[in-house]
Amino acid sequence: MKSSLLLLCTLLCAQSVLADTPAQTRVKEFKTLLRSFESMGTVVRGRDAYRPDVFARQAATLKADAGKPFANFPAGSQANSRAKAEIWSQNARFKNEQATFLQRVDTLDAAARAKDMAAIRISYGAIAQSCKSCHDAFRGPAK
């Protein structure tokens, strides 16, 4: 009995020491998005061949993952991250950036399913604009 309680306490302590903070979780989730986005970028820039089915799968993956990091910006999670206080003090603006980004990701997914390279280029560029706009307003310098 005593030893199983000790084991339980040890496991719970390890969990709290090893678990990611919200800031760490969202960084990992943004990096996951970036993997799909950059793979598509090599095609859009003409460095890799356009394989419509592969590209459409990447766009679908981006769409499935795009909202995830935004669920990990709880109030009080600014420490040890590049997140600016404005994320919470001007939260409507931040939410607006998020909504625009997600709409543009949907548009890219639709263009990819339609195998429409002209539309893909436009929506890909619009997403990159979303990244930049949100970073300019809400992401501080690297630490």
Find the shortest distance in angstroms from Cβ 101 to ligand ASC. Answer: 11
Q: Which of residues 6-45 bind ligand ASC (CB under 6 A)?
A: 34, 37-38
87-113 CB burial, b ≥16 within 10 A, e <16: bbeeeeebeebbebbbebbebbbebbe
Question: Which contacts of 9-12 are long-range, i.e. CB under 8 A and separated by 24 or more positions?
Answer: none
Is there binding between residue 135 and ligand ASC (CB under 6 A)?
Answer: yes
Find the shortest distance in angstroms from Cβ 41 to ligand ASC. Answer: 6
Q: Which stretch binds ligand ASC (CB under 6 A): 19-27, 57-65, 93-101, 131-139?
A: 131-139
Find the shortest distance in angstroms from Cβ 98 to ligand ASC. Answer: 15
Total residues interacting with ligand ASC, rule: CB under 6 A: 7
Nearer to ligand ASC, 27 or 128 (CB): 128
Nearer to ligand ASC, 102 or 131 (CB): 131
Alpha-carbon span 18 to 36, nearest angstrom: 27
Alpha-carbon span 81 to 21, nearest angstrom: 10
Q: Which of residues 58-97 bind ligand ASC (CB under 6 A)?
A: none
- Measured between alpha carbons, how far is residue 24 from residues 20, 88, 132 in Å? 5, 18, 21
The binding site for ligand ASC (CB under 6 A) comprises: 34, 37-38, 128, 131-132, 135
